[in-house]
Amino acid sequence: MSVHTEIKKVTTQTLQKMKANKEKISMLTAYDFSFAKIFDAAGIDVILVGDSASNVMAGHETTLPITLDQMIYHASSVIRGVNRSLVVVDMPFGSYQSNSKEALVSAFRIMKETGAHAIKIEGGEEVLESVKRILAAGVPVMGHLGLTPQSIYKFGTYTVRAKEEAEAEKLKKDALMLQEAGCFGIVLEKIPAMLAKEVSESLHVPTIGIGAGKYCDGQVLVMHDMLGINNEFKPRFLRQYLDMNTLITGAVQHYIKDVKSNDFPNEQEQY
Ligand code: KIV
C-alpha cells in the first residue's frame, strides 16, 4: 500500500516518507471552507492557503496587498473543512521581512488563530534567521525559491527564474541552507526543469514544483487556474482540468432565463 492511501492524517513526516518511497506529493491551493472540504475528501495531500488569495480572491494584481489578518481569515476557513490534508499557510508580504522577531510573532498568530499545521515563507539566505527562529519555536516551515511573487517589483516580470548560472548557484545553496535549517519541504516556482531535478536529487526533503517540471517530488497549482475559474491565465506550465468559467457562466445564464420567464420557482419549489 502507498503512504498516500495508508495515512489517516498527512503530517510533515508523511511527506518525508513519500519522498523516500518515491511517491509524488499532490498540493493545491484553497482559500475557503467549501473548496477545502472537497479537496480534502478527494485525497489531496497538502492544501496551501496561498497568498495568491490576494489575486484570485481579492482581485489584486500582485500578492503584496494581502494582510496577515486576511490570511488568517482564509486559513481558519480552510481548516474547518479539512480532516486529512496537511494545511500550510503563506506568510504574507510585510509580515516577516523586518526582522526575525516580527516573523515569529506572525507565525505564532497564524498557528494560534487558524489551527493550521505549517507556514510557508519566500526566500533563501535573506530570511534564514527568521526561518530558524520560527522552527526553533516548533512551527514547521516550508521554503519557497525561484520565482517568489512577493519580490515581483524587484524581478520586474513573472518569467522563468534561475536560467543564468549565478542565480541557479544561489538557488542551490539556498535550498541546502533551508534544508539544513530544518524546513520540511521547499516550493520551487518557475525554474528550468533540469535545475529543479538537480535540487530535488540533492535534498532529502521534498520539493514541490509549480512550473518547475516533472522531476520535483510533488506538484502544486493554484485552484482557480487548474479548475479554469480564471480562464484568462494560461501559462505553459498550467494543466487545466475543468472549464469552470464556462460551466458557471452557463448555469448562471440558465438561472437568469428561468427567473425572467417565471419558470423558477415552480410549484414543487415553494411552500
Ligand atoms: O500563493 C501561492 O499560491 C503560492 C503557490 C503559487 C506556490 O505560493
Reported as a single tens digit per residue, the pLDDT across 67-98 is 999 999 999 999 999 999 999 999 999 999 99
User: Which atom of ligand 1 sits closest to the CA of residue 187?
Assistant: 7
Question: Total domain count for the chain?
Answer: 2
In this prediction, the residues of the chain whose per-residue pLDDT falls under 50 are none
Residue of 48, 51, 70, 190 to test ligand 1 pocket, by largest number of atoms within 8 Å of CB: 48
What is the three-class DSSP state of 16? Answer: helix
267: DSSP letter: G
pLDDT value at residue 5: 76
Angstrom distance (rounded) from CA 259 to CA 58 = 29
Contact status, residue 55 vs residue 62, Cβ threshold 8 Å? yes
C-alpha cell at 130: 527568521
Reported as a single tens digit per residue, the pLDDT across 33-58 is 999 999 999 999 999 999 999 999 99
Angstrom distance (rounded) from CA 19 to CA 205 = 7
171 with 210, same domain: the answer is: yes
C-alpha to C-alpha distances, 80 to 9, 32, 66, 69, nearest whole angstrom: 15, 9, 21, 17
188 with 258, same domain: the answer is: no
36 with 149, same domain: the answer is: yes
User: Which atom of ligand 1 sits closest to the CA of residue 29?
Assistant: 3
Residue of 148, 210, 221, 227 to test ligand 1 pocket, by largest number of atoms within 8 Å of CB: 210
- Among 18, 1, 8, which Cα is nearest to 207's? 18
CATH at residue 52: 3.20.20.60
131 with 14, same domain: the answer is: yes
Please tell me the pTM assigned to this model. Answer: 0.97
End-to-end CA distance of the chain: 51
144 with 54, same domain: the answer is: yes
Dihedral sign for Cα atoms in the order 55, 58, 64, 70: negative
